[in-house]
Each structure stands twice: as structure tokens, then as C-alpha cells.
Amino acid sequence: MLNSYEYKKIDESYFSFTMPNGLQVFYIPRPNYKKSFAVFSTDFGGIDFKTDLMTLPPGIAHFLEHKLFENPNGNVEDDFSKLGISVNAFTTHNNTSYYISCTSNFYEGLELLLDFVQTPYFTDQNVKKEQGIIAQEIEMYRDDANWVGYLNLLNGLYPNHPINKDIAGAKDDILQVDVDMLNETFGQYYNPLNMALFVIGDIDIERLYEFVAENQQKKKFEEAPKYQRNFKQDEFIPNEKKVSIDMEISRNILNFGFKDKQVEEAGKELFEKEITTLLGLETLVGKSSKLYNDLYENRIIDDSFSIEYTTETGYGHTIFSCETEDPMKTYSILKERFQEAVNQGLDEEDFIVNKRKIQGITLMELNSLENVVLGFMGEHFRGGRFFDKNEIIEKITFEKVEKRIKEHLDFKMSALSVVNNKAR
Amino acid sequence: MNAKFEKTELAPGVNLYLYPTDKYKTVSIRAFLYTDLEDETSKTAILPEILKKGTKDYPTPRELSKELAKLYGTRMGAGVTKRGETLLADFRMEMVSPKYLEDDSYVQKALKIFKDVIFDPALDDNKFNKTYVEIEKQNLKNRIAAVVNDKQKFAFMKAIENSCPDEAYRISKYGSVEELDKVNEANLYQHYEKIVNNNPMDFYVVGNFDKDKLKPLLTETFKINRQQVTSIKKPINSKAQPLNEIVHDMEVKQGRLVMVMKTPVTMNNNSYPALLMYNGILGGFTHSKLFQNVREKASLAYYAGSNIETLKGMVFLFAGIDKETYKETLDIMNQQLEDIKAGKISEKEMEYTLAGLKNSLSETIDEVGGQIGLQVDGGLVGRRWEIEELLSELKNVKKEDVVEVANSLEVDTIFFLRPKEEQ
């Protein structure tokens, strides 16, 4: 059954179909493009090492991502190289995705992609080899002060939620990984019912359908997965909990974040919450706000200042980050100024301007095939539809945004993380 | 010249390149002001930061960013890019294509802002705003110091400083803290007047627009009154120094190894496609010798590869490794270099590399930035390669050509950022 959806206003459309084995496929047309992307994803990520039924070492999803690239002949990257196709993968807190980008040989590449992700090959020896490689990857990130500061903040915000662990795990965690664990998680989470394929480019939809159908028919899978993701909310109230560490860097890094109190939303509601929050943050302290410009001109913040809001069902947080000479002093000024601005309420004119800005930027971001296909992927697993974004923005009112900001930026729900530059 | 870009000379040394295409939902504009890297580097570096703060009509950052937000979130950015011995002040604007909006008057408004940012900045008494200059000086000083935060970049920077001691290329694109200390709102404005009135400039416009409508508007907006053009130095083909092995201790978890090699082959050379093949075989891909031997066979690294500085004829080898495996990694790397020189290149390596290069070059065809980048680099070295031309030349590269490139390369620097002993 082939379904098609059209979004006339933004000149976008997509098609979807479901295979008999449960695998969902989405295709977004990009006529006249040389490049095409296929992303094969599972709803399994860094947070999924702990379920009601089992506990595995943190980093298991990422380990599995690495290991699926291996086949009895060696590394599958070789087969892609032969076709001149680049292949890569990444693991987020919630998902694992494998993707190819190519300008020719699309179906050969797609077949390899579907096959290597769905055909595990784990041996004691190749697991051991991967431990060495992943250990180096972990070390590399451990030298990245921004990443360390971010992880420490998540630890402060969520002491009881698996999001507080590094997606790749720690060196000790990955040494525990063995073939059985990989087989167990593969069987559970790489079930077609838990996966989806996303394609963008200049592709014939009928042929795509037949191709995927034929490929999937050849494979057998276990019955539906039995583990459920742990959606339980972390009830901990961080109340400005502080985590700090010393590293050899040029300046101190301050991160502070606010944890969402309500995290049950899914689908369109979750998408709406995300956009409302982003619009609110932009209005409060974006580049065209009074607050941002005051802070910048008075040299409390500089161009290292950044804002990020992330949400999924089960968690959600805003993180402010900046480099500073005196993190605690900067924090106390920012706290005071934020509270003041939130109490006073947002500027309605700024809100209108920012709404227009976000509408324009949403359109501009449709230029990038990568952005579109990955955005579409993320939204699919959250239960929403990526192309609804413009319509959602249009309906957001000033009152909603103001209410959301007042409720969200509550310092009782905040934690902070400082990376101190150790004297060299 | 790439057939896609239509060139118009607006004034001496000022060119406009147009490329209309309905692939995108936007119109992108980029302007490049070319300067010699060594000509008061820090002043050139700070300029875009000051210019994007305000124009005569919108003199504060807040007014300017509010106005851009009103123009459907039109994005504007500016900064500096180092290419060889050239420092480019680089201005960018991206707006929604008028195709998606009923009223297209914002296009003209946005173009006017873009022009004013470069040519009609906010001024106080014929000087830049003192506060902004002080803030941005500090910002750049912080950025210079911040190189230590990205350990990989830091290792590259140190390797380059040692490898090119007598070339301007060793200089950071932000210049130095000492230089920044001397910048003030008056001498910065003088430098600005000098380069904006005399140095070569290119404007690139790519995207979903009606050429007949936009071209007259662009020509009118960017018509600049100037008589003469300062010429810019061409990139220097770097020569190998006597071999220098440097170890730098730092408090890091992972060691970073960078090896620098030099070759007479640059983008301005018929053997350029062979150099691309060489780099692909050595370390550009996952099938390449470095990834295969350092990571896959020896399990020593998460990343191991190579890249080229195409304007200067430099090849960099790199890997992130444990301290204890430094010698072992170096031996493996050297073995790969020797193997290529001796012609130990498999059919498979040739074939896969060609396929990989073909794919990455073809991808460039879909990308605004990639297309423009190739044009700009080509303009600097004096030879513009079309993607189609490169693709067909790559097919003709033989194993002997790769071996010839390999034998033209000399290692001159080995830099190792070494984790300190734990206390």
C-alpha cells in the first residue's frame, strides 16, 4: 500500500509504504539532484541499555553500530568503496542510523545497506578488536571539553535516567560487551517492526517499492520485540546541583540547563512543545532580544554563548553554554537577569519577528538533503511529521510561548556544570 | 571557467558570478574580499566581526538582526577564511527564494543590507564603534587561545608552524594577540578603507531566482566606484625542510600524530588529478592504506587518514593513538608511503579510489558552498578546474602517475601531541 502526502505551500511531498514484515519505508523526492541519501534506522539508542527486563553495559547500542559493519569477508565499507558510495552511521540517545550517500549505483548501495544492517556477524575476535577502536573513540571525546561539560550537566540534571551516560559508554563498560549481548540486542531492536528506511533523491518510487519488498522477503526475523523503552521520568529535582572538572583548555566552560517537568508528550504535541520552547528561548535571549544584546555589550557573554533545547518522550532540557573567565560570577549574573526577564514577560513584537524568522529558516533548511532526511527520521520515531513544522509554527501564539518559558525556566529544575581550565 | 557561472565585471577587480538553479529553496550570496595573509592579518580578521554589527541604516546589532528576521529570517554571516597565503574576508547571505512568498520586496531590502554591511557600515565620527572593536578584539584573542581546546586542530597547527617557518601560511587566520593589542577603532577604519577600495572582490549568487529580474538589481547594487586594484600574492608551493620530529606533552587522554609531506604538485598543475588519486589511496577513504593498516589491521586508532592542502602541495597524515603505540604507528605509516612509492598499489585500490573521488566530486554539484569553493581556489592558483573536467582526467590517471606523485613527496615534519604521564 503506497501512501502519498503533499505539502503544497512548501513544495514538498513524501511517500510511505509498509512491508509485510513491518518495515516502514519513506521516500522524499528531490528531482534533478545528483545525490541521494538512504538512512536505515532503528528505534534503539544510547539510553536503551536499561529496560524493565535487563541491564546491559552502557554503550551497547553504539558498540552494535560498529559491529554491524563487519561481515565474514571483513569490513562492509569495502563493498561500498567499490561502488564509490560513502557509508556511515551514528548513535544518538534514542536511535541508531546507518546511511549512504551516493551519486550513482543507488540500488547496489541500498541492497548493501539493507543487508549489512540486517545480517550480524559477531565473533569473539572481532568483538575484541572493536574494543580497542571504540576505546580510542571514547578517549577522543574525553579530550573534548565541550562534550565533557555537556555530559556532566546531564549527570546533574538526571541522576536516575540512562541519558546521563555517554552514548559510547565508558572504557570499562565496553570491555564487558560480548557476542551474546550483541546477539540479544540485535534480535530485539533490529526487528523490522522497530525500524524504518528513509530515502531522499531522484528515485523511481515504484521501483523502490519492489526493490525493498524483494530484499525483505529473503530474510527471516524473530517475533516482535519484548523489551519496552524505559520512559520513566527522572523525578529528581536538581535544584542548581553543580558538577565540575578540571581540564587543560584555554578558558572555563559554563553549562547550565533546565529540565522539563512534563515529559509525556509524543507526536505532534511533542513537536509543538519543541517549537514553542525554541521560539520562546529565541524571543527571550536570541540575537535580536534586548537581553542578549545587553549581556553581550556589557561583556557578560561573548560569541561563545549558545542555546540548545532537546526533547523526546521521557526527557527534555534546555542547555545554555558559554566560555567565561569566572563561571560562578557569570552564572549568578545570568541567573539574576534571566529571572528578571522571565518575570517581566516576553516582548510581543520580538515574538512576531522571531516567528517570521523561524518560518523562513525552516524553509531554508529544506535545501540540505541531509537535514531533511535526518529531520524526517527523528520526527518519525518521535511520532510526528517533519513537514508539519511550518504549519505548527503558524499556530503558536504569544501567550503559549510566554507561559511555556515561565514554566520551563525554573531554577529549581536547573543544574550547572563547570569545566575549569587547569593552570598550564 | 565553470560553465554554470555567468561572469560580469562590475568594476576593475570586482566580478559578479551568477548561477540560477531551481534546485534550492533559497538564494545565496557570497562576497569575498581578497587580502594578503600577512598584510595586517588581525585587522582583516576583526573587520567582518565589526561590519556585521551594523550599517548606517541599522546601526546596532539588535536593529540589524531584527530587520533580517523580518525579511523572513534572512541569514547573514561574515568571517575570514585562509587559503594558502591569502586571507579572504568572507560575507554570506541566505534568503528564502521569492518563489515561495507572495511579496518579493524583501529581496531588494536584503541586498541593500548586504551591500551596506560591506560598504556603508555604522560609524562614529569616521571611526568604528569603540565598544564593538574592544569586544571583538577580546573575542578574537579568545579564539586564538582556544586552539588548544581542539586537540586535533592544535596538532595540525603546530605541525604547520614547524613545517612552514618562512611562509605566511604558518600564521593563524586571526593573526596574533600582540597584533590585536595594537588595533583600535581609527586604524581599523583606515585598514578597512584601504582594502575595500583597492583589493579584488568577487560576488557569487547561487539559487532559485529569475536572472532577468535579479541581475540588473545586483549590478546596480554592487556597482562600485574604483580605479585601481591591488594585486594579491599567489599561493606558495611549499618546499620540504630537513626532517624535524617534535614531541609536545599535554594533559590529554589520546595522542595525536600528524606527519607533513611536500610536493611540487598543486591544483595549478596537470598532475593534480594524480595527487587526488594518491591521497585517496593513502588515506582519504576507509579502503585507503592508512585506515586499513592503522585502524582495521592493527586496531591502533579510531581515525587514521590523510588530506591535502591543494593550493600549496602539502599532504598531511594523521591518527589519534595511545602514547605507547607512537613508534608502531609511525612504522606502519612509513611502510604505506614506501609501498606506494614502490608501486604496491592494487587494482582494487585504484578502482575504489576513483569511485570514491567520483562520488565526492559529483556531490559537490549539488552544493552551493562546494561549487563556489572550487571556483575561488581555482581563481587563486590561476587554474579553474570544472568538476566534469576533473572527473574525466581522474579516469586517465595511471598507477605510474600515482607512483610519480608519491616519489615527488618528502616528509619534513612529524608532530606528536603526547599525553603527559599521569600523576
ipTM of the complex: 0.85
Report the alpha-carbon distance of residue B79 to residue B88 in Å, rounded: 8
pLDDT tens per residue across span A231-249: 788 999 999 999 999 998 9
A195, A288: one domain: no
* pLDDT tens digits, A26-60: 999 999 899 999 999 999 999 999 877 788 999 99
Mean pLDDT calculated for residue range B117-144: 95
Judge whether A304 lies within some domain.
yes
Measured between CA atoms, how close is B386 to chain A, in angstroms? 16
By C-alpha distance, which of A293, A281, A355, A282 is closest to B61?
A293
pLDDT value at residue A53: 77
If asked whether residues A164 and A126 sit together in one domain, one would say yes
> Is residue A191 located within the same domain as residue A258?
no
* 357-376 of A, contacting B, C-beta below 8 A: 357-361, 363-364, 366-367, 369
Q: Give the chain A residue nearest B255 (alpha carbons).
A: A140
Q: Using one digit for the tens of pLDDT, what is the confidence trace for A208-218?
A: 999 999 999 99
**A 42-81: CB under 8 A from B:** 74-75, 77-78, 81
What average pLDDT does range B117-122 have in this prediction? 96
Of A83, A297, A303, nearest to B139 by CB-CB distance is A303
Residue of B nearest to A294 (CA): B62
pLDDT surpasses 60 at A286: yes
Residue B87 grid coordinates: 586571507
Q: Residue for cell digits 560576488?
A: B203
Task: Name the 3-class secondary structure at A423.
Answer: coil
CATH number at residue A161: 3.30.830.10
Region A387-393: mean pLDDT is 96
Residue A351 C-alpha, separation from nearest chain B C-alpha, in angstroms: 11
> What would the pLDDT profile of B192-241 be if each residue is shown by its tens digit?
999 999 999 999 999 999 999 999 999 999 888 888 899 999 999 999 99
For residue B170, CA distances in Å to A15, A139, A315, B1 come to 52, 29, 46, 30
CA distance B342 to chain A (A): 23
Burial of B59 per CB tally in 10 Å (0-12, 13-18, 19+): middle
Domain that holds residue A184: 3-217
Tell whether A25 and A71 lie within a shared domain.
yes
| A204 plus A266 within the same structural domain | no
Q: What total number of domains does chain A contain?
A: 2
Residue B422: what pLDDT? 64
**What average pLDDT is seen over chain B?**
94
Give the three cell numbers for residue B325: 603505540
pLDDT (tens digit per residue) in A304-329: 999 999 999 999 999 999 999 999 99
Do both A66 and A133 map to the same domain? yes
Beta carbons of A247 and B251 less than 8 Å apart: yes
Q: Is residue A236 part of a domain?
A: no
Q: Which of A155, A182, A217 is the last residue of a domain?
A: A217
pLDDT of B368 > 90? The answer is no
Asked whether residue A193 falls in the same domain as residue A291, the answer is: no
List the catalytic residue out of A12, A65, A282, A379: A65
Q: Computed from CA positions of residues A273, A276, A279, A285, in that sequence, does the dihedral angle turn out positive or negative? A: negative
Percent of chain A topping pLDDT 70: 99
- Residue A325 among the catalytic residues: no
Does residue A84 fall inside a structural domain?
yes
Domain membership of residue A226 (yes or no) is no
Minimal CA separation from A65 to chain B, in Å: 14
Residue contact A361–B322, C-beta within 8 A: no
Does the structure show a pLDDT above 90 at B391?
A: yes
pLDDT in tens, B231-249: 999 999 999 999 999 999 9
User: With contacts defined as CB-CB under 8 Å, which chain B residues touch A136?
Assistant: 254, 300-302, 320-322
Chosen for mutation from B152, B254, B276 (greatest number of chain A CBs closer than 10 Å) is: B254
Q: Which residue has the higher pLDDT, A279 or A132?
A: A279
Nearest CA in chain B to A253: B149
Nearest to A45 by CA among A97, A89, A98, A94: A94
Position B371 confidence tier, pLDDT thresholds 50, 70, 90: confident
Binned at pLDDT 50, 70 and 90, residue A70 comes out as very high
Indicate whether A290 and A377 sit together in one domain: yes
Interchain proximity B69–A356, CB inside 8 Å: yes
CA gap B118, B111 in Å, rounded: 11
Instruction: Give me A343's grid cell.
Output: 518575570
Please report the pLDDT score of residue A424 as a whole number. 52
Q: Report the C-alpha gap between B121 and B136 in whole angstroms.
A: 16
Instruction: Name the residue with cell 535526518.
Output: A374
Residues A197 and A332 in one domain: no
Assess if residue A271 is contained within a domain: yes
Confidence check: pLDDT of A192 > 80: yes
Cβ(A257)–Cβ(A307) below 8 Å: no
Same domain as A178, residue A31: yes
pLDDT in tens, B265-298: 999 999 999 999 999 999 999 999 999 999 989 9
Looking at residue A231, what is its pLDDT?
75
pLDDT the model gives residue A228: 77
B166-187: pLDDT as tens digits: 999 999 999 999 999 999 999 9
pLDDT top residue among A288 and A1: A288
> What cell numbers appear for A283 in the block?
524571543
Cβ pair B352:A359 closer than 8 A: no
- Which residues from chain A sit within 8 angstroms of residue B72, using beta carbons? 356-357, 359-360, 363
> Could you tell me which of A205, A212, A241 has the C-alpha nearest to residue A15?
A205
Asked whether the predicted pLDDT for residue B2 surpasses 60, the reply is: no
Give the closest residue to B378 by CA, choosing from B390, B368, B366. B390
Distance in angstroms (rounded) separating the CA atoms of residues A35 and B370: 14
Kindly give the residue spans of alpha helices, DSSP state H, lying in B164-290: 177-181, 185-198, 211-221, 272-279, 289-290
Task: Tell me which of A182, A217, A252 is where a domain ends.
Answer: A217
Strand partners for A247: A421
Residue A225 lies in a domain: no
A302 to chain B: which residues are within 8 Å by CB? 135, 138-139, 142
Query: Where does a domain end: A217, A232, A267?
Result: A217
State pTM to two decimals. 0.89
- Whether residues A21 and A147 share a domain: the answer is yes
Pairing mode of beta strands B26-36, B86-96: antiparallel
A208 and A128 within one domain: yes
8 Å CB contact between A28 and B356: no
Strand order in the sheet with A241-247: A241-247, A414-421, A252-259, A315-324, A306-312
* Position A13 in a domain: yes
The Cα–Cα gap between A356 and A362 comes to 10
User: How confident is the model at residue A423, as a pLDDT?
Assistant: 64
Does residue B423 carry a pLDDT above 60?
no
Mutation for testing the B interface, residue in A174, A175, A250, A372 having most B CBs under 10 Å: A250
Helix (H) or strand (E) holding A63: helix A60-68
Which residue in B80, B45, B246, B255 sits closest to B165, CA to CA?
A: B246
Whether A252 is in a domain gets the answer yes
- Residue A385 has phi, psi (to 5 degrees) of -120, 120
Instruction: Return the number of other C-beta atoms located less than 10 Å from residue A209's C-beta.
Output: 17
**Nearest-angstrom CA–CA distance, A299 and A285:** 15
B1 pLDDT higher than 50: no
Chain B residues within 8 A of A101 when measuring between CB atoms: 359, 363
Min Cα distance B12 → chain A (Å) is 34
